[in-house]
Amino acid sequence: MKMQRVLRMATAIVVAAWSVGCMGADASSGEDRAAPESGSGSARQESIPPGAEDAVARLQASPRHGEWVMIPTGPRDSVRAWVVYPERADRAPVVLVVHEIFGLSHWVRAVADQVAADGFIAIAPDLLTRFDIPAGPDGAPSADSAVAAIRTLDPADVHRQLRAVAEYGMNLPAAERRYGIVGYCWGGAVAFAHAVESPELGAAVVYYGASPESATLATIRAPVLGLYAGDDARVNATIPAADSTMRALGKMFEHHIFPGAGHGFLRAQDGRDGANLRASQAAWPLTVAWFRRYLGG
C-alpha cells in the first residue's frame, strides 16, 4: 500500500507539472498554443494522419465507420468517446488515442481514423466529458476552456477512466483482448504514465510528452516508444533519466528525436520549414510498426 501511494503521488506530480509545462510552451514558443486547429496545408497524405488544417476533410472522406459512444467509467461518471473501426475481416487490437491539452479536437479524431486505417480499433476518449466544454466556432472544443479544465484533472481518475475505456474496447465483438495507447503533448505524458499504472497495457507510444518520475518506472510492463521534436528542450530533458532507468530495469524504451521539428509536429505539419512534416513522415510508420509488433494486427 505504501508503494502504491508513492506511485500515485509521483504520477500526480508529473501529470500536474506537465499541464503547466504545456501552458508554458504555449506562452513562450507558440508551437503548442497558437492555432490549435491549424496545420497541414501541403501535407495531404493518406498514409499518415493529416495536419489539423485537413482534419475535417479527412474525417468527411473516410470510408471507415466512426461513431460516438458513451462509456461508463465508474459508479458516478462516464466518458464520451469517438470509436473508429478498421476495414478488416478478423478481430483487431484496440488503441486508445489520448488528446492534447486542447481536448478532443477534430484533429485527434482524424488521428484515430488513421489508426483505424492502419488496422486497429481506435478509441479517442474525451477525458473532459464531465466539464461539458463549450464548442468554438469550428465545432471543436474551446481551447481556452479545455486547457483550464485539464489542469484540474486528478491523474488517478484519468487512468481509471482509461482502463474502463480499454475494457469497453476489448469487449467489443470485433476486438482482440489486447490494447495499446498513444498520446500527444499532455496526452503523451498521460500515455507514458498509463504504462506505469496499467499492467494489462500491451504497448505505449508517446508523442512529445514528458516522462514519468524514474521512481515509478519499475511497474511498467509494456514496451514504450517515444517520438520527440528536436527543438523541444523542456520535454527532451526528461528523456535521459527515463532511458537510463528503463535500461537498468530491463524495460523496453525506444526513442527517436527528429532534428528541427517543433513540439506538436504531427498536428502542425506545415511548420518549421518542412521539419515538422519530415518528422511526421518518419514518426507515423514507427508508431504503426510498434503497435503491430507488440499488439499484432
Residue 223: predicted pLDDT: 98
Segments of the chain with pLDDT less than 70 = 1-46
Cell (9 digits) for 77: 461518471
Half-sphere exposure of 256 (CA within 13 A, CB side): 17
Number of CB atoms found within 10 A of residue 235's CB? 25
Strand partners, 227: 207, 256
| Burial state string for 91-125 with b = 16 or more CB within 10 A and e = fewer than 16 | bbbbbbbbbbbbbbbbbbbbbbbbbbbbbbbbbbb
- Name the CATH topology of 2-40+50-295: Rossmann fold (3.40.50)
Residue 45: predicted pLDDT: 56
pTM of the complete model: 0.87
Residue 162: predicted pLDDT: 98
Residue 11: predicted pLDDT: 42
Alpha carbon distance 53, 58 (integer Å): 10
Residue 36: predicted pLDDT: 39
Tens-digit pLDDT profile for residues 67-82: 999 999 999 999 999 9
Q: Which amino acid is located at 101 in the chain?
A: I
Of the candidates 190, 153, 173, 179, which has an alpha carbon nearest to the alpha carbon of residue 77? 153
